[in-house]
Amino acid sequence: MKHFSKRYSHLTIGTLTTMFWLLATPAHAGALHGHQAFSNSSGGVTAVGGGVAKGARGTAARGRMTTTDGQGNVTSTGGGVIQSATGGRAARAGTTTRNADGSLSHQSGVAASGARGSLSSQGSFTRDVSGQGNGSRSTTATGAAGNTYSGNTTYSKGSGVSHSGTCTNAAGEAIPCRN
């Protein structure tokens, strides 16, 4: 969660985490959800919603907050967390902003861990007012034996997609990546 708290809405991630742990602690299964919309001080509307669920297979929580400013700008932030009954965990968060001039930006990240390994991935995309877009994503995955894949993918309108990746064993030595 530390990766998300620096980049994304503290309110949304904090609310998700609180809802997750509140539901994770009781011995009872169940679900809670809710949403609300209200006028904000920027002349727009803010809508929030989320839910939590707990059952025999695990616990999950999600939430989203979307805000407009009355000038045509919209920002939406959301995320979710899950914990399986066997101890696997995953979390995702993302923010997208669309400006009145047509430009937009998006940032998101995901992290997961369990008995078979772990995964971390962060990405972003921007589009300017002329429609030129650029994006990138970095991903690291480590298996239970310690072998690690690290990769980067970039996109630029006009140039297309570029990808590079490397794999290492538990000792840090380069090994072939499987397709």
Check pLDDT > 90 for residue 75. yes
Which tokens in the block code for residue 31? 């679900």
User: Which one has a higher pLDDT value, 9 or 145?
Assistant: 145
> What CA–CA distance (Å, rounded) separates 107 from 6?
12
- Predicted local distance difference test score (pLDDT) of residue 10: 44
- Predicted local distance difference test score (pLDDT) of residue 30: 81
- Predicted local distance difference test score (pLDDT) of residue 123: 97
Give the range among 25-34, 42-51, 86-95, 162-171 with minimum mean pLDDT: 25-34
Q: What is the pTM of this model?
A: 0.79
Q: 């429609």: which residue's tokens?
A: 131
CA dihedral 55, 65, 81, 126 (to 10 degrees): 150
Q: What are 114's strand-pairing partners?
A: 117
How would residue 4 be classed by pLDDT, with cut points 50, 70 and 90?
very low
Check pLDDT > 90 for residue 84. yes
Q: 């620096």: which residue's tokens?
A: 6
Which tokens in the block code for residue 87? 């101890």
